[in-house]
Amino acid sequence: MSLMNPRLLRPLASGVHPEANAWRTAVVANGGSVSASTMKAVSTFCAAIDLAGIRDRFYRLNLFAGTGLNACLVPLYRGQSRTGTQYGNTTDTNVGPFVSGDYARGGATPGLLGNGTSKYLNTNYAFTSTLQNNRHAAIRVSALQLSASHAYFGSSNAGSGSAFSQLVAANAAETFLISRLADETGNTSATANNVVGFQGLSRSGSASYIRRANQTDQTITQASVSANDNNMFLFARNFGGPSLYTSARLAFYSFGESLSLSLLDARVSALIAAIGAAIP
């Protein structure tokens, strides 16, 4: 609920970021709601992104916030600006489907819980050739899956395997990540622990990209080839259809142009902490 002007009995416009306000409007239109504490945290997040000068880096970003599953499915950003080109649908397409009990908006493990067999989100967004060597993809993991190979997000070029954008945990102990962000040949495993928290990939050239996990950045050298034109899935990879479903719990994702992963990590972590602290 917004603070009210006691004289006019209407919501105060001051102090609320316009993109946070637009997100709340979209949430309500989708049958969800937003608490005052969550609204404050999201507004602060939007202002921090603006101040950092990275707003135009995002083509699609979902905080998995608000009250109820219908709120969780509404992205905060769907383009590089609120009034410019928008990418994907107004909500993430719920396939499986996820149900209300799969979503937690606060506590120690916030976010949306996969089932490892049938549930995933179709973002209706695909990296294009214009972002072949200039892109990022990021998530925040609240709870791990500790068995079998699985994908947090991913897509392939028409299911051919010739071009990937994916983040896959590759063994039961989750000590390897297959990180192939910008359409590489071959298969690179980065030997860094897969942990609860922020994980991301960012590429700003054709020779290498950065992977961030456990607050550590790692440079991975790999050449790029062709563009990947299939929609990105969450909780599975799109390999001409869903595969490698995960039963992990995720609390955030973003896709777009390359950026500082450490900066985004800090902003997302602060948001999650603010929402969690305000919810009993």
Mean pLDDT of 46-73: 96
Q: Which residues have C-beta within 8 Å of that of residue 39, sequence separation ≥ 6?
A: 2, 16, 20, 24
pLDDT at 102 over 90: yes
Q: Considering its fold, how many domains does the chain have in total? A: 1
pLDDT at 227: 62
Whether 7 has a pLDDT exceeding 70, the answer reads: no
- Considering the domain boundaries, does residue 118 fall inside one? yes
| Residue 229 vs residue 241, higher pLDDT | 241
| Collapsed DSSP state (helix, strand, coil) of residue 269 | helix
CA atoms within 13 A on the CB side of 138: 39
What is the average pLDDT across 102-117? 92
Q: Does 10 score more than 70 pLDDT?
A: no
pLDDT at residue 28 above 90? yes
The DSSP bridge pattern shows strands 208-213 and 216-221 to be antiparallel
Whether 238 shows a pLDDT value over 70: the answer reads yes
164, part of any domain: yes
- Classify residue 250: in a domain, yes or no: yes
Which of 90-99, 158-167, 254-263 shows the lowest mean pLDDT across its residues?
A: 158-167
Distance CA 106, CA 90 (A): 24
CA atoms within 13 A on the CB side of 232: 30
Q: Which residues contact 200 (CB under 8 A, 6 or more apart)?
A: 136, 137, 138, 139, 211, 212, 213, 261, 264, 265
In a domain, 12, yes or no: no
pLDDT above 80 (res 5): no
Q: Is there a domain that residue 3 lies in?
A: no
Backbone angles phi, psi at 174, to 5 degrees: 55, 50
259 has pLDDT over 80: yes
Reported as a pLDDT band with limits 50, 70 and 90, residue 280 is: low
171 compared with 165, residue with greater pLDDT: 165
Q: Are 139 and 167 in contact (CB under 8 A)?
A: yes
pLDDT-derived band at 262, boundaries 50, 70, 90:
very high
Mean pLDDT across the stretch 90-118? 95
More confident residue, 214 or 14: 214
**CATH code of residue 135:** 2.60.120
- The reply to whether 9 falls in a domain is no
- Please tell me whether the peptide bond between 97 and the residue prior to it is cis, using omega within 30 degrees of 0: yes
- Mean pLDDT across the chain, nearest whole number? 83
Strands, E assignment, 181-225: 189-190, 197-203, 208-213, 216-221
For the segment 147-169, what is each residue's pLDDT rounded down to a tens digit?
778 888 888 765 555 566 777 77
Residue 80 sits in which domain range?
A: 18-278
Three-state SS sequence of 116-143: CCCCEEECCCCCCHHHCCCEEEEEEEEE
Nearby residues of 69 by Cβ (< 8 Å), 6 or more positions away: 32, 94, 98, 99, 100, 102, 103
User: Is 4 domain-assigned?
Assistant: no
Residue 7 lies in a domain: no
What does the pLDDT average to over 244-270?
94
Region of poorest pLDDT, from 24-33, 99-108, 173-182: 173-182
